[in-house]
Amino acid sequence: MQPGTLTDRISRGYGSAARMIGAWCDVYRPTTAEQPLNGRNHLMRLSAAFLPLDGRTRAPVTHGHVIWQGVFDAAYTSPGDFIVRNASRPGALDGATFFIAAQQPLLPSLCVRTSATIQAVRSIVSNTAGAADYGGAGALTSTTILSDWPASIVHATGTGLNPLDLPATVAPGSWELLFPTVPGLVLRTNDRISDDIGRSALVTAAELSDLGWRVIAKEIAS
C-alpha cells in the first residue's frame, strides 16, 4: 500500500471517529496578519474532537493544558488553520478555538487551544534629514503588525517589567505565547503584544519552528 493511500485511510478513520464523538466546527485559513476568524477566511465545517495527548479520557485536564490531540479528517486541513468549536448551548462554556500546529504522517493532528486574542505593535523611529547631511531621530510611530489573532498564553518563569521598581511593588510575570505562523510576519525583540483583557508585554525572544511561533514576553506593569 502506498504511503499516501495509508495516510488518507487513517484520516478517514479519524473523520469517522469525530462524527461519533465530536462536534461540528468551523475551519478558518488566514491569508493575512489580521482577523483570521473573519468570514472571508472561512474554509469549511467538519466534525472534530479534541483529546489529551495520551488519548485517555479517564480524568479531566488541569491548569496549563494547552496541547491537544485533534481527531478529525485532516485530508482537507493544514497546519496554521483555526478550528472553532461553538458552545453546545447558551451558557455551556464548552466552546473553544484551536489552531493546528502540526499534521504529521500517520499521527493524530497536534492542536493548541487558544486562550486570548492578541495584537502586536512595532515602534518605529523615523529618521529626519539635517543640515550638512546629518540625520536626526524623528517622531516615534507605531504600526500594527498583528491584529485580532487567537493565541495561547501561559505564564512562564521569571519576572516582567516594572517601570516603578519600588521595593513594595509586586513585579508582573512573563508570558509564553503559542500561535501559528502568520503570513509575512517576523517578530522582533521589543515588539509590544497586548491581549483582549488589557494586558501588555514586550517580546524578549521569539522562536519560529515547524509548530508555529513560541514567544517569550515580559509583562508590563500597568
CATH number of 116-219: 2.40.10.370
- Do 118 and 69 meet the contact criterion of CB atoms below 8 Å apart? no
Distance CA 93, CA 100 (A): 21
The full DSSP string for 173-205 is: -EEEEEE---TT----TT-EEEETTS-EEEEEE
Task: Name the E strands within the chain.
Answer: 23-28, 42-51, 67-71, 82-85, 96-102, 109-113, 116-129, 135-156, 174-179, 192-195, 200-209, 212-219
How far is 36 from 176, CA to CA, in rounded Å? 21
pLDDT at 59 (0 to 100): 79
Q: Judging by DSSP bridges, how do beta strands 192-195 and 116-129 pair with one another?
A: antiparallel
Cell for 134? 546629518
The answer to whether 152 touches 112, Cβ cutoff 8 Å, is yes
Domain with CATH 2.40.10.370 in the chain: 116-219
User: Is 4 strand, coil or helix?
Assistant: helix
Tens digits of residue pLDDT in 135-172: 555 557 899 999 999 999 987 666 655 655 555 566 67
How do beta strands 109-113 and 96-102 pair? antiparallel
The answer to whether the beta carbons of residues 176 and 153 sit under 8 Å apart is yes
69-125: pLDDT as tens digits: 999 999 999 999 999 999 989 988 889 999 999 999 888 899 999 999 999 999 987
